[in-house]
């Protein structure tokens, strides 16, 4: 790419420093930074990373809750041509150890937790560890500020490629272990431009990052607000009263929220002590609608969304581009192409089901360190999403469901293979299969069907607790049923039969 055509996230920051010198870039607790102040911090953080051996293609790992430092480090990596990964801090020690070994970062910025401490001891890793957010006292200091301040500021206009990966998000646990999807500066900027168009973001847009930043749903709006030159407000994690307070204080325009989170805000504000009228959001309930301003942009006009995944930067299709259409996923982003392909790679006619495949400016660069998977996923020059869909006669898209079994609980993807692997490490378990059952609150919840070894005994509670110790708590089964055998199709569980026997249902797209 010619230098005159280059645009990285770091370049966007530099333009905001010049064009919005008085504007507020980020808010995080007592921290309020203008664009010039954020730019200066990013240059020093990049210098600190470089001093610790991070160069083009190097990896930086964040193990902690939400913080403005996540954006700061992402932008620093953009200026170095490096890769930044905010990992799921709720994972177990074994899961975090997999991330450490797989990504092999040169620098790890971490918040103190038992899981991180255990994971650190499980992996031989030559990395600089920088503690963030620690408490005062021996061994608990916040090292980040001194570490970053010691960095020699880099040249913000140094050449960096907009096409090389800059953000890694772990997803796609097809084989029981997640893979890191790599997104370039150019892909993230393209996605942001599509999102801010459909959401009709305007000058003064303020986004509250109250969902996890390791999730593309939070990250995509954070970056769209950044791209526009709006303000991003960070809070460590979702807490209803604090979210209400921040919406009122910062006059927040949008936040990462879905059904149960909205219900929590309605309950926290039932006495109407907080003014939430600045929030422009989708209609949810009479109580909620009366507290906020119901948004009429294409993003929120009937219900939010469309179809997406981490590998396309967030959204591939937008419901707001297909209002009134036959397909409930809407139409593709203006910067992508979508084809519905059969197993041979040929496009199927409208009305027939095939795999949703895509290419375009916001599509990812592949998975970190997964050459065979990458080759399969890009067969024929298209990204194969692994999801089934249909193009309707009016051109809109219908999402049918994953080709591989996936459970959607709240806003989290849970892959049965991952939970099954954890269950089978219990000494009493001979075999196991995991299905999704309908859940009034979260849409679905995982149910385990377990075969015990001859002469062995285990209670449901014991197995649930065992899984909770192996993988992130939200992935654990909420129900366990015992069986004499797991019905199979070849070598894999017959999930359709299991659904019928044990009440499975509510899968994505159903």
> Which class in CATH covers the domain with range 3-19+29-184?
alpha beta
Residue found by looking up tokens 């422009």 in the block: 280
Spacing of C-alpha 270 from chain mean position? 30
Tell which wins on pLDDT, 260 or 269: 269
| Whole-number Å distance between alpha carbons of 349 and 119 | 49
The tally of CA atoms less than 13 A away on the side-chain side of residue 98 is 21
For residue range 466-505, list pLDDT tens digits in order: 999 888 888 999 999 999 999 987 667 888 899 999 999 9
Quick one: average pLDDT of 356-375? 96
| Whole-number Å distance between alpha carbons of 298 and 19 | 28
- Select from 211, 214, 188 the least CA-distant residue to 103: 214
Q: Is 147 left (phi over 0), alpha (psi -120 to 50) or beta?
A: alpha
Banded pLDDT at 159 (limits 50, 70, 90): confident
Burial 455-482 (b: 16+ CB within 10 A, else e): eeebeeeebbebbbebbbebbbbbbbee
Residue found by looking up tokens 């059969």 in the block: 342
Is the predicted pLDDT of residue 1 greater than 70, yes or no? no
For residue range 299-320, list pLDDT tens digits in order: 887 678 899 999 999 999 999 8
Element (H, E) at 339: strand 336-341
Largest CA distance in the chain: 72
Tell which wins on pLDDT, 343 or 218: 218
- Select from 493, 473, 481 the least CA-distant residue to 448: 481
| Bridge partners for 280 per DSSP | 293
Structure tokens at 150: 């010691």
For 106, which DSSP code? Answer: S
Q: Which residues fall within 8 angstroms of residue 302, CB to CB, at 6 or more apart?
A: 319, 323
For residue range 424-467, list pLDDT tens digits in order: 889 999 999 999 999 988 889 999 999 999 999 999 999 999 99
Structure tokens at 403: 């080709």
pLDDT value at residue 137: 37
> Which class in CATH covers the domain with range 316-402?
mainly beta
Is the predicted pLDDT of residue 293 greater than 50, yes or no? yes
Is the predicted pLDDT of residue 98 greater than 80, yes or no? yes
Banded pLDDT at 377 (limits 50, 70, 90): very high
Burial 412-422 (b: 16+ CB within 10 A, else e): bbbbbbbbbbb
- Please state the domain extents for the chain: 3-19+29-184, 238-294, 316-402, 407-502
Banded pLDDT at 268 (limits 50, 70, 90): very high
pTM of the full structure: 0.84
8 A C-beta contact, residue 28 and residue 144: no
Is the predicted pLDDT of residue 107 greater than 60, yes or no? yes
Q: Which residues fall within 8 angstroms of residue 344, CB to CB, at 6 or more apart?
A: none
pLDDT value at residue 124: 93
Specify burial of residue 242 (Cβ count, 10 A radius: 0-12, 13-18, 19+).
middle
CATH superfamily entry for domain 407-502 = ANL, C-terminal domain (3.30.300.30)
pLDDT value at residue 492: 73
- Give me the chain's average pLDDT, please: 92
């Amino acid at each position: 790419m010619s230098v005159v055509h280059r645009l990285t996230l770091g370049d966007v920051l530099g333009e905001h420093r010049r064009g919005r010198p008085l504007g507020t870039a980020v808010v995080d607790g007592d921290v309020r930074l203008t664009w010039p102040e954020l730019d200066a911090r990013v240059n020093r953080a990049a210098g600190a990373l470089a001093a610790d051996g991070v160069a083009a293609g190097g990896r930086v790992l964040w193990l902690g809750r939400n913080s403005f430092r996540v954006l700061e480090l992402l932008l620093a990596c953009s200026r170095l041509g490096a890769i930044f990964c905010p990992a799921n801090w709720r994972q177990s020690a074994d899961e975090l150890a997999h991330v450490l070994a797989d990504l092999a970062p040169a620098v790890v910025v971490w918040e103190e937790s038992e899981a991180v401490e255990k994971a650190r001891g499980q992996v031989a890793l030559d990395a600089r560890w920088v503690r963030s957010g620690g408490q005062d006292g021996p061994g608990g200091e916040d090292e980040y500020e001194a570490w970053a301040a010691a960095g020699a500021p880099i040249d913000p206009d140094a050449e960096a490629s907009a096409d090389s990966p800059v953000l890694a998000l772990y997803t796609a646990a097809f084989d029981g272990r997640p893979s890191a999807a790599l997104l370039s500066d150019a892909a993230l900027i393209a996605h942001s431009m599509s999102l801010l168009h459909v959401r009709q973001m305007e000058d003064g847009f303020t986004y509250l990052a109250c969902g996890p930043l390791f999730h593309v749903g939070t990250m995509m709006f954070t970056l769209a607000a950044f791209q526009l030159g709006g303000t991003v407000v960070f809070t460590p994690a979702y807490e209803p009263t604090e979210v209400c307070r921040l919406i009122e204080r910062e006059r927040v325009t949008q936040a990462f929220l879905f059904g149960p989170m909205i219900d929590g805000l309605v309950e926290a504000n039932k006495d109407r002590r907080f003014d939430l009228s600045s929030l422009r959001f989708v209609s949810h309930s009479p109580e909620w609608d009366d507290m906020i301003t119901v948004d009429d942009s294409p993003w929120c006009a009937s219900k939010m969304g469309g179809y997406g995944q981490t590998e396309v930067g967030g959204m591939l299709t937008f419901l707001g581009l297909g209002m009134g259409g036959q397909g409930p996923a809407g139409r593709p982003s203006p910067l992508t192409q979508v084809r519905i392909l059969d197993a041979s790679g040929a496009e199927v006619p409208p009305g027939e089901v095939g795999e949703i495949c895509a290419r375009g400016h916001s599509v990812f660069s592949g998975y970190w360190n997964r050459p065979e998977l990458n080759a399969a996923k890009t067969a024929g020059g298209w990204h194969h999403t692994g999801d089934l869909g249909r193009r309707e006669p009016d051109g809109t898209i219908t999402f049918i469901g994953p080709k591989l079994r996936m459970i959607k609980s709240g806003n989290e993807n849970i892959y049965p293979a991952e939970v099954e692997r954890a269950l089978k490490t219990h000494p009493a378990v001979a075999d196991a299969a995991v299905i999704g059952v309908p859940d009034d609150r979260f849409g679905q919840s995982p149910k385990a069907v377990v075969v015990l070894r001859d002469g062995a005994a285990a209670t449901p509670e014991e197995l649930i607790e065992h899984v909770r110790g192996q993988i992130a708590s939200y992935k654990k089964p909420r129900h366990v049923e015992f069986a004499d055998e797991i019905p199979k199709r070849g070598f894999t569980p017959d999930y359709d039969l299991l659904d019928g026997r044990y009440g499975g249902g509510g899968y994505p797209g159903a």
